[in-house]
Amino acid sequence: MYSRIAGTGGYLPQQVVSNSDLEKVMETSDAWIRERTGIVRRRRVGAEESTVDMAEHAARAAIAAAGLKPEDIDLIAFGTVTPDLIFPNSAVLLQARLGCKRGCPAFSMEAACSGFIYALSVADKFIRAGEAKHALVVGAETLSRITDPADRTTAILFGDGAGAVVLSASADPGILSTHVHADGAHADLLYCTGGLGRGKAPGTMPPGDFIRMAGSEVFKLAVTRLGQVVEEALAANGLEKNALDWLVPHQANMRIIQATARKLDLPMERVILTIEEHGNTSSASVPLALDAGVRDGRIKRGELLLLEAFGGGITWGAALVRY
Ligand code: ACO
């Protein structure tokens, strides 16, 4: 038994924040942001929109693309570090919104930008074990709510959005393998100051907690770890680089994506890029890119895709997929 991607969906909030908009509120320039990151625009939620709201749009699109109804879904795995509530988790809230089967397992995974790959990996294993037939896998984030508007080293990078896929049980291989990793020794390089740890007085949830990142250290680790994990995924399947049709990378920085593509000897025309328009949407970025490539007809059934992501933790992972 395998799982295969039966449908994809994506959603972006309306508000567009361009590099020139950012130039007006912080010491930066469109030229710097383009050259160092490849980002031109990103989307931002309005005050009345949340991670689960966006996830609902993406999930409905993925379920429809799979030719299914919400009541067919029997597992929800949701990657996010910007949940609507501390609990219930975002997958549970989404289950009720969509009208999926009451009782179907629904859980969230906090693996930062690798959250979708982690969720995909777990959902694939449920299906392979025969414990689910149709799994909804979501990555959705409202990073704008945990980004410090006064910190130009992070405020230029992040955007909001949601992506989803439906995995269905299949006799033919779809997800060939998934590979997820973490190294908590680097937790201090990229983290959000929020949470309920030491120093928080009882009964307080102070606002103003933001992402903090040591950008160039994270950059170097991302290039190394992504290079390793894409080779691991190919080796696990006895495949050569030239078997790949598409790289669907996490959209953190154009230069990181280019380094991974070079490692795979893949021309950039074979890489699905959304970074220019979306910025870094953390766990939403891989499913959003996948959905873009599927919907515009570039990614075709039967093609071999390599999905990869890297994020705070640090966490990283890849999935090799026969689409
Ligand atoms: N505008 C103009 N100048 C800036 C800006 C800005 N927005 N930000 C930083 N600078 C300046 C710095 O102050 C520095 O100036 P100095 O030389 O006078 O000290 C100079 O530009 C270079 O700064 P670096 O930090 O060395 O720039 P770098 O080339 O490393 O680019 C960046 C920074 C884009 C953040 C890059 O390091 C990066 O992409 N890192 C990885 C991010 C990532 O992959 N995160 C993981 C996923 S995110 C997640 O998990 C939530």
| Tens-place pLDDT, residues 115-136 | 999 999 999 999 999 999 999 9
Q: How confident is the model at residue 199 (pLDDT cuts 50, 70, 90)?
A: confident
Average pLDDT over residues 61-90: 97
- For residue 12, give both structure tokens: 């972006």
Ligand 1: which residue has its CA nearest to atom 44?
A: 252
| DSSP label of 197 | -
Cβ neighbours around 184 below 10 Å, total: 9
Cβ–ligand 1 contact at 215 (below 6 Å):
yes
Q: Considering just the CA atoms, what is the radius of gyration of the chain in Å? A: 18
Tell me how far apart the alpha carbons of residues 166 and 183 are, in angstroms, rounded to a whole number: 29
Active-site amino acid positions:
113, 250, 280
pLDDT at 208 over 90: no
Please, are residues 114 and 180 in contact by the beta-carbon 8 Å criterion? yes
Strand intervals (E) in the chain = 2-11, 15-18, 41-44, 75-79, 106-109, 134-142, 160-170, 175-182, 190-192, 211-213, 246-249, 304-311, 315-322
CA nearest neighbour of 157 among 260, 35, 42 = 42
* Residue 185: φ, ψ to 5°: -65, -20
Task: State which ligand 1 atom lies nearest to the alpha carbon of 315.
Answer: 50
pLDDT for 190 beyond 80: yes
Q: Which of ligand 1's atoms lies nearest the C-alpha of 143?
A: 51
96: which residues sit within 8 A by CB, 6+ positions away? none
Mean pLDDT, range 26-50, rounded to an integer: 97
Q: Which amino acid is at 51?
A: T
Q: What is the mean pLDDT of residues 258-283?
A: 98
* Cα distances (Å, whole numbers) of residue 41 to 136, 160, 216, 248: 28, 11, 22, 19
Q: What integer pLDDT is reported at residue 85 of this predicted model? A: 95
What pLDDT is attached to residue 198? 78
pLDDT, position 205: 66
Share of the chain above pLDDT 90, in %: 95
Q: Is the dihedral of CA 29, 30, 33, 36 positive or negative?
A: negative
pLDDT category at 184 given cuts 50, 70, 90 is: very high
How far, in Å, is the centroid of ligand 1 from the Cα of 255?
12
User: Is ligand 1 within 6 A of the CB of residue 252?
Assistant: yes
